[in-house]
Amino acid sequence: MRGRLTGILIMFAFYLFLDVYTYFGLKSLFSTQRNIRIFQVVYLLTSLYIIFSFYQMYVGYNQGSFFRSASTNYYIGIIFTAIISKMVFVGFMLLQDGGRTIYAIFSWISSLFSSENVAGNHLPSRRRFLTLAATGLAAIPLSTMLYGITRGKYRYTIKRVKLAFEDLPEAFNGFKIVQISDIHAGSLDSPDDVIRGVQMINDESPDAIVFTGDLVNSDKKEVDPFIDIFAQLKAKNGKYAVLGNHDYYGAPREFRNDKTHEYWKDFFAKYEAMGFNLLNNDSAKIERKGERISILGVENWGAGRWFPKLGDLDKALKDSTKDEFCVLLSHDPTHWDEQVIPHKKHIHLTLSGHTHGFQFGINMPGFKWSPAQYRYQHWMGLYEKAAQYLYVNRGFGFLAFPGRVGMWPEITVIELETA
């Protein structure tokens, strides 16, 4: 709890710096005393509301509950929105003020060597149009993030992908797989919206549903309010799941096998209650008209230093033949480059999640951008290498920032075809 309080205090101190700098920057836009007074009152009330949001965030974090309430998510979102917006404004203003400071220094030095007695202030005034430009830029994250925390986080988007394979068994031509990932149940605050997402999946009449990890944020209890909802998912040939890195964080870390065993036994039972076949370094066969494909699942394996590396592809493949058509569920896309592509077995399609598209970015036809691309080589969408495919889903839920901007939650509909 002390660490969490320290983190909130550091964030609060940073916000106060941004708040004060923003105040003086915006104040320079007003010339009359009346307008300045109105601005000061409005700005003060806004700042007090953000401070109140910090208090509410602290209360929400210390309720002793695993479940994030809608109000706590809202206040956290307001804080993130205020900080990011003011960072944009202050960053732009610092560029302007840096230029003003450099000019003032050179002006002062020049005055020392001038024959004329130059007195007064050498610091030029802020340019009004530059301050207005900074305000306009800051309004972009302000408006989009407010949308993201109110509507964007449940703006489920269906992404349709058709993939053709020469060696796909004929009986599986047109086989439809619906993928979801990164539910992060501990962050969800609207069961009605989750039910709507489940209905969107069922409306696709999938042959199989796959979930590629991160059911919870940090503890198995987080999914309890949603078990009955996700149990409503329907697929003709079954529902399959794997673990993500966050699914391990709530397990007891002390060396007491009885506690660890009971934790995982209870956690795995939740998947069973939702109707998912949890594939921990294992596989399942789907048969049609005497032909079959293999659904492989590995535990989390991430190239990042702090991520669990428990995925064992060899174990998952132990019941698969050399030429069998395989679909692999692996939470972290870094597993694809590091272990799947180099493996002697040809894995036709790997389905991953994990990145969320950083829940922030631009996703337009012909142009995609997100901070995620500076962290992950494969961060969203479809990739191909050595005639093997990887698809990275943006995620069904959200984590940390309780919203999504541009990177809407995704339901992927993959249709397999014979080439």
Alpha carbon distance 419, 415 (integer Å): 12
Residue 1, pLDDT above cutoff 90: no
Give percent above pLDDT 70 in the chain: 95
The string of pLDDT tens digits covering residues 94-106 is 999 898 888 888 8
Alpha helices, DSSP H only, in 184-328? 191-202, 227-230, 257-273, 313-316
Res 95: pLDDT: 92
Alpha carbon separation from 402 to 300, 382, 399, 410 (Å, rounded): 24, 26, 6, 16
Kindly report which listed range (99-103, 157-161, 192-196) carries the lowest average pLDDT score: 99-103
Res 61: pLDDT: 78
Q: Per-residue pLDDT averaged across 135-141, rounded?
A: 96
What domains sit in the chain, N to C, each tagged with a CATH number? Answer: 2-150 (no CATH), 156-418 (3.60.21.10)
Res 115: pLDDT: 61
Q: Per-residue pLDDT averaged across 136-147, rounded?
A: 97
Average pLDDT, the chain: 93
The β-bridge relationship of strands 388-392 and 381-385 is: antiparallel
Alpha carbon distance 333, 382 (integer Å): 11
Alpha carbon distance 295, 179 (integer Å): 13
Q: DSSP assignment, residue 403?
A: S
The string of pLDDT tens digits covering residues 258-316 is 788 899 999 999 999 999 999 999 999 999 999 999 999 999 999 988 888 999 999 99
Nearest-CA neighbor of 312 among 340, 292, 285, 289? 340
Alpha carbon distance 144, 63 (integer Å): 30
Q: Is 85 helix (H, G, I), strand (E, B) or coil?
A: helix
Res 119: pLDDT: 56
Torsion, Cα of 224, 225, 227, 232 (10° steps):
180
Res 381: pLDDT: 97
Res 65: pLDDT: 59
Residue 206, pLDDT above cutoff 80: yes
Alpha carbon distance 237, 288 (integer Å): 10
Res 113: pLDDT: 76
